[in-house]
Structure 1
Amino acid sequence: MGSQASIPEGVHVVVVGGGFGGIAAAQHLRSGGLDFTLIDMRDAFHHNVASLRASVQPGFARRTFIPYAETFGDSFVQGRVERVDTERQMVILQGGREIQYSHLILCTGTDGPFPGKFNTVASYETAVQAYEDFIQQVQAADSVLVIGGGSTGVEMAAEIKTEYPDKKVVLIHSRVGLADPELLSSVRQQAKEVLLEKGVELLLGQKVKNLSELKLNVIQKNMVVTTDKGETLTTDLIISCTGLRVNSAAYASDFSGSVADNGALKVNNHLQVEGFSNVFALGDCTDISEPKMAYHAGLHAAVAVTNIINSLSGKQLTEYRTGNVTMLLAMGRDDGVGQFNGLRLPRFLVTLGKSRDLLLWKSWREMQQKQP
């Protein structure tokens, strides 16, 4: 996105959320010559595509957090957004600080259980340490139960079994099919085959019945787990990979008329939030019907920033259109399954393209910093 000839005075774009969509939007805004503020509750971007590897491989977590300030300087503000005053066009942070906007980009993402997600007010060092502490729990366990066989659960089970092949790893899933339902059935079948090849035990079509009584992410020898089908198993460590939900706390009260039942923001084809011409949403917090992925958030960011620039110069707005599903699953560092543009890829290609480095190079390059 090239620099603009002239930006009207008083234009200030506030980006709420520094995930994949947020940092992409900030970079597009900077290259477009627009004044902006990026807000996130952490002081470092989390490349959470690699969070599961960081849960099993000592020292890896440090590579998954990239400090914002080194990239964005004074254009980055650490804080938790409490609400948005749409009449005054102010973003209000916890503690009372207010930041004025002419345009707003909401990209608050989804929240879910650790270690897949780390949406906590934390410093870089605290965040890294949380993963190092978790690895000790995994290492001390003889057996691990992963709950949830969506894409995160499948990758989690594969990561543990790859790094610690002697551990007993069981994956329980309420459905019979594994991974994302929008993936090709042949890719989902491949994911199942890889898990079985690695020695992961599968309990499909069953739910954990006594989940509320069980401790998660903390080792406790011989915990008894029962399923709704009457099966009983014992395990030392339980990791939940279910229950992703839209992170709507920052905007729910002020955009109530534009929020879907699940907390996602309703957007039009230009990614404008319903009822607001100067407010855009992108990534996981939108109600766009497509898999929630870093790849899509990046595409959204380019469209949203282009449309802010076009609106300032009176040009026609660009439309975002969903395409065929592209999704790669890292099945440990030595294997992977996936599809590109609706076509199944060979496992070795996914391994080379994603599994070895989990696309970390891409985020470090986008943040214009050198990977440690």
Structure 2
Amino acid sequence: MGSYGKAVATAAATSYRVLIAGCSYSGLSAAVNLLEQCDKIESPVTVDITILDERDGFYHLIGSPLALAAKEYSEKAWVEFKDIKVLQRPNVRFVQGNLCKVDPESKAATILEPGNQTPRQEKYDYFIAATGLRRVWPVVPQSLSRKLYLMEAGKHINAVTSSATPVLVVGGGAVGIEMAAELKVTHPHVNVTLAHSRDKLLSSEPLPDLAKECAGDLVVENGVELLLNHRLANSKVVKDEAGRDVYKVEFTNGHRMVASEVVMAVSRSTPSTAFLPQEALNEEGLVNVRPTMQFPDNVPNAASHFASGDVINWSGIKRCGAAMHEGKLAALNIHQLMLQQLLGKEPEFNRLAEIPPMIGLAVGKTALSCGPEGMNHGPQVMKLFFEDDLGFRICWDHLRLGGIKA
């Protein structure tokens, strides 16, 4: 057996443990792409992947505005671990639980699983933080199981569709815009009002005014009443003439209204990184990564620790497409490190470039896109970016989660 043959045999006999925290776009992308690299016939690598998440499956976060407006779509938007076909392999393990701590020096994670009062240790060779941002209700469901999520979503849908008085959505960022528009398009009989504190929607995003004004026009075209320069002062529950609970709402400009429901879409999302050492994070709690997706040099064993997706401190607006790309880069670079150790091959790292501001925004029956190439909007943009299911099929097939098609 030649030296290369011996090296390949050694590679096949050596098993690497990879722990991926987060079963969303970036974590799943990392898992699928790493398996693809390790399965290559010319240089197979034995790998055991553990995917950890608080939920019992994959939730299509982009679809939240529709999942919380249409019960049929709610069923589709959450897929349990066991139904992610491409990852049903002996060397892939799903764990539902909380990640309490990651110790880069000892390469060990502390995990608390449901039903267990005592946390356990999970050793790994490589770690990927893809835990994303923690978003509050009703931006995303708070349930951790599909069964409870369907109950949570169903209760919300019943509440926002069963009254003649308007539903008020507060917050004109991407989430508020999409929630208001999806609710109106899905349930045309419901009066929907979107209130925003500034004079333009998407006011916190680094986008041109033309795009922000277009977003406002699309909201109105889809039948939503738009209140700009309306900052919520207070809302309190009162009884209407029929004895039902409604909200008496007042804005700081003196405008008052009655709403059947008040949907808050203004809360600031926080990174899910409390389990990481402080030296890996910036002041906002995002992971400081190098262009290779690796932790900064001041962290022990930084070369074996990666982060990707919404949790990283990087340029650009947080988007699903970027998250999947970053997860792939992390996987490719981990594979390069494995080959370096097994075959003595100098690693050829993939590097993440600066990401300019860009956005794809679904607004009811139409959509808006804006990026370096300019702005576009209309039904054709909706079809290209989201199809008819807020991007579920596009993401599912891009990640090959349904397995390899014949």
Q: Work out the CA distance in 1 between the residues paired with 2:260 and 2:372.
A: 40
Deviations 1:183-202 (A, max 9, x none): 34322222111111233222
The structural deviation recorded for 1:291 is 0.7
Find the counterpart in structure 2 of residue 271 from structure 1.
293
Q: Work out the CA distance in 2 between the residues paired with 1:323 and 1:364.
A: 23
Find the counterpart in structure 2 of residue 232 from structure 1.
256
Alignment match of 1:150 (pick from 173, 178, 194): 173
Structure 2 contact 237–246 (Cα < 8 Å) conserved: no
Find the counterpart in structure 1 of residue 78 from structure 2.
65
- Is 197-206 or 21-30 further displaced after alignment? 197-206
**What TM-score, normalized by structure 2, do the two folds share?**
0.82
Q: Work out the CA distance in 2 between the residues paired with 1:247 and 1:10.
A: 32
Find the counterpart in structure 1 of residue 157 from structure 2.
135
Find the counterpart in structure 2 of residue 287 from structure 1.
313
Structure 1 contact 105–282 (Cα < 8 Å) conserved: yes
Find the counterpart in structure 1 of residue 191 from structure 2.
168
Q: Where do 1:108-127 residues align within 5 Å?
A: 108-120=131-143, 122-127=144-149
Deviations 1:19-66 (A, max 9, x none): 110111111121122321110111110011111111111221111111
Find the counterpart in structure 2 of residue 247 from structure 1.
271
Find the counterpart in structure 1 of residue 326 from structure 2.
300
Find the counterpart in structure 2 of residue 25 from structure 1.
30
Alignment match of 2:221 (pick from 165, 185, 197): 197
Amino acid at match of 2:362: A
The structural deviation recorded for 1:209 is 1.7
Q: Work out the CA distance in 1 between the residues paired with 2:315 and 2:253.
A: 33
The structural deviation recorded for 1:165 is 2.4
Aligned residue for 2:76, secondary structure, equals helix
- Is 78-87 or 65-74 further displaced after alignment? 65-74
What's the Cα RMSD here? 2.4
Structure 1 contact 335–355 (Cα < 8 Å) conserved: no
Find the counterpart in structure 2 of residue 364 from structure 1.
396
Amino acid at match of 2:319: M
**What TM-score, normalized by structure 1, do the two folds share?**
0.89
- Is 242-251 or 146-155 further displaced after alignment? 242-251
Gaps of 5+ in 1: none
Gaps of 5+ in 2: 1-6, 39-46, 113-117, 341-345
Do residues 15 (structure 1) and 40 (structure 2) align? no
Structure 2 contact 273–286 (Cα < 8 Å) conserved: no
Aligned residue for 1:82, secondary structure, equals strand
The structural deviation recorded for 1:249 is 4.8
- Is 189-198 or 5-14 further displaced after alignment? 5-14
Q: Work out the CA distance in 2 between the residues paired with 1:118 and 1:86.
A: 31
Amino acid at match of 1:108: T
The structural deviation recorded for 1:246 is 2.5
Structure 1 contact 258–265 (Cα < 8 Å) conserved: yes
Amino acid at match of 1:45: F
Structure 1 contact 184–344 (Cα < 8 Å) conserved: no
Amino acid at match of 2:227: L
Displaced runs of 4+ in structure 1, greater than 4 A?
Answer: none
The structural deviation recorded for 1:329 is 1.2
The structural deviation recorded for 1:363 is 3.6
The structural deviation recorded for 1:141 is 2.7
Find the counterpart in structure 2 of residue 349 from structure 1.
380
Number of matched residues? 359
Structure 1 contact 82–249 (Cα < 8 Å) conserved: no
Q: Work out the CA distance in 2 between the residues paired with 1:342 and 1:9.
A: 46
Q: Work out the CA distance in 2 between the residues paired with 1:247 and 1:323.
A: 19
Alignment match of 1:92 (pick from 101, 110, 113): 110
Find the counterpart in structure 1 of residue 115 from structure 2.
none
Find the counterpart in structure 2 of residue 81 from structure 1.
99
Aligned residue for 1:242, secondary structure, equals coil
Structure 1 contact 338–347 (Cα < 8 Å) conserved: no
Aligned residue for 2:149, secondary structure, equals helix
Q: Work out the CA distance in 2 between the residues paired with 1:107 and 1:337.
A: 27
Aligned residue for 1:296, secondary structure, equals helix
Bigger Rg, structure 1 or 2: 2
CA separation of 1:273 and 1:246: change in aligned 2, threshold 3 A: farther
% identical equivalent positions: 24
The structural deviation recorded for 1:118 is 2.7
Find the counterpart in structure 1 of residue 57 from structure 2.
44
Structure 1 contact 43–67 (Cα < 8 Å) conserved: yes
Structure 1 contact 59–132 (Cα < 8 Å) conserved: no
The structural deviation recorded for 1:282 is 0.8
Q: Work out the CA distance in 2 between the residues paired with 1:336 and 1:325.
A: 17
Do residues 322 (structure 1) and 369 (structure 2) align? no
